[in-house]
Amino acid sequence: MINNNNGMKLVTLLDLIKYIDTFIRSFSEYANYLYKEVVFFNTGSLWYENYFYWLILISLTFWIWEIALPWRKEQKAFRKDFWLDAFYMFFNFFLFSLIIYNAASNVFVSMFKDICFYLGFENGIALRVETMPFWAKLCFAFILKDFIHWNIHRLLHRIPFLWQFHKLHHSAEQMGFAAHLRFHWMETIVYNTLQYIPLAVLGFGLQEYFFVHIVSLSIGHFNHSNVKLNLGILKYLINNPQMHLWHHAMDIPEKHGVNFGLSLSVWDYIFKTAYIPNNNADIVLGFKNIESYPSTFFKQMLYPLCKRKSGYKI
């Protein structure tokens, strides 16, 4: 990095051109990537690293489980808002990235690496985990990522502005696997922005992130599913439907919510936010005045942007 003023201006201008080029180029690159994922064309990666079909396979697995052995036996296979939630799965997993997120995130990653480089961090990161065995890196990345998500989840409930976006996830009145990815696109930005920096600084790569993400996706589908599984002592470690259902309950004793774990339940037991008063499968879900919450995709997207008053469960 050049220290004189003219050099600084030159570097800044070149960086700006690079960021604009990255932003524009990302649209066509992601569209091409998504096309190859869907048609199963060679993307340069292994067949088992295909996000699109992993999502379908995991979703079908839990849907069949719900149909064969439902916890709430009166709940229909095509429950209320089933197709809306199914659309949210693919929108949040793929279409949002196609529309804007992939391009914006590529620019953010490029800027972050440039900042680290200017600060003197080798290769754009501060620390390295390369010397760890692969299985250890996976475990470390999974635990760290989930702890970060647990804290972000609490923020979504505690900060009124963020709660208006998170309300969408809590608008599901019947729980099923697809409700896992029923959330506003703003949550993608909040979660990924806050998790990227610590994971990148530690040097975790795409391969570790892929495996961790697939495990998180599976557990997330599981704890939203209409199924019941006796985990025994593992219930204190892994989030599950009987625990997570109470997170979505309309009537809970804590103003800012309970059971914030995404994949792991252990954080709630450690920090005293765990709450499972009974194993009732038929509790009322949602939030107060849910009847006035919009029921269509576009209105739900606009709701937190247009709502002037904010607050928790008002």
Distance of CA 153 to the CA centre of its chain: 10
Average pLDDT of the residues in 292-309: 86
Please check whether residue 44 lies inside any domain of the structure.
no
Q: Place 45 in a pLDDT band, splitting at 50, 70 and 90.
A: low
| Secondary structure of the chain as H, E, C letters | CCCCHHHHHHHHHHHHHHHHHHHHHHHHHHHHHHHHHHHCCCCCCCHHHCHHHHHHHHHHHHHHHHHHCCCCCCCCCCCCCHHHHHHHHHHHHHHHHHHHHHHHHHHHHHHHHHHHHHCCCHHHCCCCCCCCCHHHHHHHHHHHHHHHHHHHHHHHHHCHHHHHHHCCHHHCCCCCHHHHHCCCHHHHHHHHHHHHHHHHHCCCCHHHHHHHHHHHHHHHHHHHCCCCCCCHHHHHCECCHHHHHHHCECCCCCCCCCCCCCCECHHHHHCCCCCCCCCCCCCCECCCCHHHCCCCHHHHHHHHHHCCCCCCCC
The answer to whether the beta carbons of residues 148 and 195 sit under 8 Å apart is yes
**To the nearest whole percent, how much of the chain has pLDDT over 90?**
54
Residue 9, domain member (yes or no): no
Residue 89 resides in a domain: yes
312 pLDDT above the threshold of 50: no
Q: Whole-angstrom Cα distance, residue 297 to residue 289?
A: 19
For 1-23, what is the mean pLDDT? Answer: 59
When divided into structural domains, the chain yields a total of: 1
- Environment class of residue 311 by beta-carbon count within 10 Å: exposed (0-12), middle (13-18) or buried (19+)? exposed
As a whole number, the mean pLDDT across the chain is 83
Average the pLDDT over each of 53-57, 94-98, 117-121 and give the range with the smallest value: 117-121
Question: How far is Cα 126 from Cα 116, in angstroms, rounded to an integer?
Answer: 8
Alpha-carbon distance of 14 to 222, in angstroms, equals 47
pLDDT beyond 50 at 314: no
Is residue 2 pLDDT above 50, yes or no?
A: no
Our measurement of the distance from residue 140's CA atom to the centroid of its chain's CA atoms, rounded to an integer in Å, reads 18
User: How far is the C-alpha of 75 from the C-alpha of 159, rounded, in Å?
Assistant: 33
Give 25-43 pLDDT, tens digit per residue.
776 777 777 787 788 765 5
In a domain, 90, yes or no: yes
- Note the pLDDT of residue 196: 75
Specify if 174 maps to a domain: yes
At 130-166, the pLDDT tens digits run 677 888 888 988 999 999 999 999 999 999 999 999 9
Side-chain-side CA neighbours of 228 within 13 Å: the count stands at: 10
Residue 24 falls within a domain, yes or no? no
Residue 212 has pLDDT above 50, yes or no: yes
Classify residue 311: in a domain, yes or no: no
pLDDT in tens, 238-247: 999 999 999 9
Q: Has residue 7 been placed in a domain? A: no
Domain that holds residue 216: 51-306
Task: Kindly tell me if the per-residue pLDDT of 3 is higher than 60.
Answer: no
Write down the pLDDT at residue 7: 43
Q: Distance (Å, rounded) from C-alpha 285 to C-alpha 250? A: 5
